[in-house]
């Protein structure tokens, strides 16, 4: 958290800074997950925002100087756009000021996100990007490709969905929802998934993530969109955090897999 839908919602919310020129940058906390590069202020100052996009769970802000600002929201990070009356609050670590008077603030209580500045042409060379698998919403995510990767895997499908080196963008919350939608048990090993089930899984991946984006993501703890709006997809959760809820003659169970909570209905998610 934030996962792909929250990051996509954030990128859409950042459209207000597109084509705006940066006047100043202030770093209030230099060490997040990694140290913020020393040259970032000089590179950002007086540059213009030329493009906004997402790579997996990364926010990419392209500049007209052939550099790109890379932001990862970590566990609790968010970006917020505010006006001239902005007053810094606790956990506001990085602030970009625009000539228009608009201000972009990186806020992160746990400081597990990171901020980087990279030559745009070198983005794909960065370890945190080149090691990523296929984006969860990419048309390149096919049943044949997934089947080839997991046909001999002894790892449960829930953990496979969280493997960013295979499928990029899915986190713990949406993994439970995706598996419920596709009626696949989270305990099923990769090698036991027939290609017909993988096709159902991919359909559910796209369905759940697109619906979550439509609802502005999920606000469980810290997440808000850039203008402070809460996401609303949590009101559409079927199983996540619904332990004990009755669904179609079954009951939502909570188990722990690889240290992460999994919610599912054993009878309904029987791979049929």
| Residues acting as catalytic residues | 2-3, 57, 260
What's the distance, CA 262 to chain centroid?
18
Q: How far apart are CA 191 and CA 232, in angstroms?
A: 35
**Structural contact between residues 165 and 146, judged by C-beta atoms closer than 8 angstroms:** no
Q: Who's near 116: CB < 8 A, 6+ residues apart?
A: 34, 36, 37, 69, 70, 126
Give the chain's radius of gyration (CA, Å).
20
Alpha helix (H) residue ranges in the chain? 4-13, 40-44, 127-130, 143-150, 157-161, 172-181, 195-214
Point out which residues pair with 253 in neighbouring strands. 264
- Number of Cβ within 10 Å of residue 67's Cβ equals 22
CA dist 20 and 177 (Å) reads 38
């Amino acid at each position: 958290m934030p996962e792909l839908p929250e990051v996509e919602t954030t990128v859409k919310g950042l459209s207000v800074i597109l084509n705006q020129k940066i006047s100043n940058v202030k770093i209030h906390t230099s060490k997040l997950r990694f140290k913020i590069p020393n040259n970032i202020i000089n590179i950002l100052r007086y540059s213009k925002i030329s493009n906004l996009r997402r790579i997996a769970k990364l926010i990419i802000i392209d500049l007209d100087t052939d550099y790109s600002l890379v932001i990862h929201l970590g566990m609790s990070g968010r970006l917020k756009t505010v006006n001239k009356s902005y007053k810094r609050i606790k956990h506001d670590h990085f602030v970009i000021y625009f000539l228009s008077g608009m201000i972009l603030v990186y806020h992160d209580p746990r400081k597990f996100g990171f901020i980087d500045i990279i030559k745009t042409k070198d983005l794909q060379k960065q370890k945190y990007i080149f090691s990523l698998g296929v984006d969860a919403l990419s048309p390149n995510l096919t049943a044949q490709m997934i089947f080839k990767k997991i046909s001999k895997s002894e790892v449960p499908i829930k953990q496979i969905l969280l493997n960013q080196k295979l499928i990029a963008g899915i986190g713990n919350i949406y993994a439970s929802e995706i598996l419920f939608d596709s009626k696949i048990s989270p305990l099923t090993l990769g090698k036991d998934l027939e290609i017909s089930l993988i096709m159902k899984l991919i359909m559910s991946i796209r369905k759940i993530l697109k619906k979550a984006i439509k609802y502005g993501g999920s606000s469980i703890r810290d997440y808000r969109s850039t203008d402070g709006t809460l996401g609303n997809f949590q009101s559409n959760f079927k199983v996540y955090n619904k332990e004990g809820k009755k669904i179609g003659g079954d009951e939502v169970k909570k188990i722990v897999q690889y240290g992460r909570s999994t919610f599912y209905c054993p009878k309904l998610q029987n791979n049929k």
